[in-house]
Amino acid sequence: MIKEIRKSEFEIIIPLLSKKKVNLEVKSIIKSINPGRIFVDSVDQPKSAMIWSDGQKGFYFIGDERG
């Protein structure tokens, strides 16, 4: 089940960022620099996340697409 997390919890998805290039917008939302919302597959141990960017008006997907 997908759940939205609070801004105070955004940093729980940092481990989902790969060593590869990561969109700066995604990083800025996680760090609460830019506005957005984050939804995860599991609040306890997220494996994937969907990030809504208020500025870009679009979604980013990170993590394991296989669940």
64, amino acid identity: D
Per-residue pLDDT tens listing for the chain (67 residues): 899 999 999 999 999 987 677 789 999 999 999 999 999 999 999 999 999 999 999 999 999 877 6
Q: Are 47 and 63 in contact (CB under 8 A)?
A: yes
For tokens 């597959």, what's the residue?
A: 41
User: Could you tell me the residue range of the domain that residue 47 belongs to?
Assistant: 3-63
For the sheet with 3-5, list strands across it: 3-5, 36-40, 48-53, 58-63
Q: Locate all alpha helices (DSSP H) within the chain, ordered by sequence.
A: 24-30
